[in-house]
Structures are given as structure tokens and as C-alpha cells.
Copies of this chain bind each other. A is one copy, B any other.
Amino acid sequence: MQGEIITTGTELITGRVGDFNARYAARRLHESGLRVQSITILGDNAPLFQDSLTQALARSQFIIITGGLGPTDDDLTVAAAAQALNLRLFEDEALLARIRRCLEERGLPWEDRYARLAQIPEGAMVLDPGASACGFSLKHQGAWLFFLPGVPKEMQHLFDSFVLPFLVGFAAGGDFMRQRTLRLFGMSETQLQEAVNKLGEWQEGVCVGFYPNFPENHLTLTLRGQDPQTLEADLDRLTAALSREVGEVLLGPEAATLEELVGRRLRDKDLTLAVAESCTGGLICHRLTNVPGSSDYFMGGVVTYSNLAKMDLLRVPEDTLENKGAVSEATARAMALGVKEVFHTPLGLAVTGIAGPAGGSPDKPVGTVWIGLASPHGVEAKQYRFHGTREEIKALSAQTAMDWLRRELK
């Protein structure tokens, strides 16, 4: 069963607000195994709406239409739809009575323009949620049409109460759908595609989507079938197969963020962490503290932009800075050890590098980054070379440092 969504409103077509209704309906339908093949967003433009409706009827079994049901002049949906479908409009008496009652309850006077709200096409069935605005449904040329208000709260309430249960029931006997999103870091989109291609069994019946999400890559697996439990088991099996192929590049079987995964592993091992940042400028601390409860395992950090601060706060020896430079293996090691001592933590993570655009040299070009990790077992440092803008180099450095820690905590 294929469907589509048509939303109308000048505020949508001018970009003044986002189209939350279409996204909401698309997501809920997709989760329920119903396919949306197209979303069309239009202004208050009757001829274009009529064209879109006619096209939709020719290719879809259900059509969800939102917006344009109100009492003002720019609410064109009902009249335009009736004309396009060659249906007469009639006044629904029950709906009219309901509108009068609503106005009375709110102490508002009757106005003639409200009569419009009770006009629906012949054959339509009112969808009345009780407390808020109504919509209606209509079967036409073998397709189900749903007309819903444009106010997101009203639309979503009607959608959840009437449209989705009806469509899911109607489609039952059909298939179930299950989807999983996997987050990966440390492999390009192309490498990822190759890894997926190697898993021959995936070719059959699995829908794979790739989504670059800098600095990560996301991948969705979608399956359809008769039995939801089998689908979940299949997704587990596919995730495990991918995990064998890409190893620790897979950031975990669920949609946790890298900082959540690091936090979880620290908590599991009952360890605490302190962070020393130079070129990342506080980004690692910021990301770690975005996780609620992070104060349990994250003790704090220092952002040492100047050499003086590296010496004063992190006890990096002056001659290390002088002889090896601020961006060097020795400095990264000293920073990691220093921050671990200052915060009395078993783990210290440190980053020093050149985020650019200035500050590079032939020896140490922009993007040169040293990451140090100190633990009770000693201290280690690794060199990286990142590319991109200042903000991208900061983001890649922070992600790589946290990812190293995640892998260490495995």
C-alpha cells in the first residue's frame, strides 16, 4: 500500500515554519510499515492543489491532506477538493451544531463565515476528536483521502486517533516493518558501502540507507515481513554481521551518541575522567557534559590555550614546550598525565593541535593533532592529520579523542 501527503499553507512554502505535520505523519506511517512515496507542500493555490490531488489519486492508495480547513478566505482545501473530485458540498448538520456549541462554550458570537466549517463533500465522514478541531475522510476511486487541520497539535491528535489506526488495520494481513539506525565513525561512506556489499545476504529484502552525519556516518536497515519477532531477530543478526565486518567502527547497536557510549563504559568500569584541551577548546568537555548525570564520571577539564597555562595548570615542563613545541608527542603525554593528577582521576585525555586557519608550518601543517591518553597502565600519544575548516578540525579531533577512549574502555 502506497500513500502520499499533501500539506498546504503559505507559511510552509515561504519557509517561515517547518512542515512538522508532513514529517510527523511520514514518520508515524513509516514506523507502522506503511509507505509514503511523496510529500507535496503547496501555498494556498487551488489549481496547483487540484493538480497534485489528481496525480496522487492516480498512484496512491491513501492521501493525507493537511491545512486549509479553516474559516478564512485563504482556506481553499475543501472547495478545491470537491471541484477536483467532482463532488457536491453539503452542510453536515451535526457538525454545524457542534460548531455552534463550541462557540457558545467559549462565549464567542456566531458569524456567518463559520458555516463554511460545516461544509464537506458528499460521502465524507466527519472525524470528530471531541475537544478539538474536526477533519473528515472520504473514499474516492479506490483511494482513502483524509483531510486534517493544519495546526500541528490538532492534526497530530486526529492522525493518531483516526488515520493511523484505520490505515494500519486496513493494511493488516499485509506486512510489518522494522527499522534500525546504526552510527559509525572511522570509515568513509564509500568504505562503508563496500563493507555492506561484502555481506551478500543483505542484498535480499533489506533496505539500506546511508546518511553522512559529520563527523559520523549513519546507516539504516529496514526489513518487512509477516512476523515482528522474526524481523527483530533478523536485524540483530544483520547488526552482528556488520559489526564483524567493521569492528569498533560501529558505535553500538543502538542510537546512543558517542559521549553517551563513553559515559556508559566509564560508569560500567567505575572510572572517572578529566580532560585537557588545547585545539579542541572545550568541545570535548561540552559534549561529555551534554549527557545527563555525566557529573558521576566526568570530574572536569582545563582549556589551556597558552603555554603558560599548560605549565601552570597541567605541570607540562617548560623545556618540553620549548624543545618539542606545544603540538608534540611529549606535550600531549604531559598534558594527559597532568590533568589526571590535577583532578585525581584514573584517566586523563588530552588534545593539542593546530585548528587553523593560521598557526601551521611546513613541519606541522594545519590539522596536525596529538592526542594523549593517560591511565593507571601508563600514557600513550598518537598523531593525526585532519582536514577541513577550523570547526571541522575541532570536531574531528574531539570525536577521535573520545572514540579512542571508547575503544580503550571496551
A binding-site residues for B, Cβ under 8 Å: 10-20, 22-30, 36-43, 45, 48, 51-52, 55, 70-74, 105-108, 111, 113-114, 131, 151, 153, 179, 181, 188-190, 193, 207-212, 214, 220, 275, 277, 280-286, 288-290, 292-295, 298-306, 308-309, 312-313, 342-344, 355-358, 385, 387, 389-391, 394
Nearest opposing residue in chain B for A23, CB measure: B15
Collect the chain B residues with CB atoms within 8 Å of residue A39's CB: 12-13, 19, 40-42
Known: A14-B27, A30-B15, A48-B37. A302 touches B303 (CB 8 A): yes
Measured between alpha carbons, how far is A303 from B282 in the docked complex, in Å? 8
The SS class assigned to the A binding surface is mixed
Contact B41 A210 (CB under 8 A): no
| Residue of A24, A210, A298 with most partner-chain B CB within 10 A | A210
Asked if residues B209 and A10 are in contact (CB atoms below 8 Å), the reply is: yes
Q: Is there contact, CB below 8 Å, between B16 and A181?
A: yes
- The listed residue (B37, B42, B290, B312) touching A43 by CB distance below 8 A is B37
| A219 → B minimal CB distance (Å) | 11
Known: A113-B190, A281-B286, A394-B290. A212 touches B299 (CB 8 A): no
**Interchain CB contact under 8 A, B38 and A14:** no
B11 with A290: CB separation less than 8 A = no
Per the bound structure, the CA–CA distance linking A344 and B19 in Å amounts to 46
Smallest Cβ distance from A200 to chain B, in angstroms?
15
Q: Which residues of B contact A15 (CB under 8 A)?
A: 22-30
| Contact between B27 and A23, CB atoms less than 8 A apart | no
Q: How far is the CA of A15 from the CA of B20 in the complex (A)?
A: 9
Contact B289 A190 (CB under 8 A): no
Q: How far is the CB of A332 from chain B (nearest CB, A)?
A: 16
Which of B19, B208, B385, B390 is within 8 Å of A19, CB to CB?
A: B19
Within the complex, which residue of B28, B40, B387 is in contact with A40, where a contact is CB–CB below 8 Å? B40
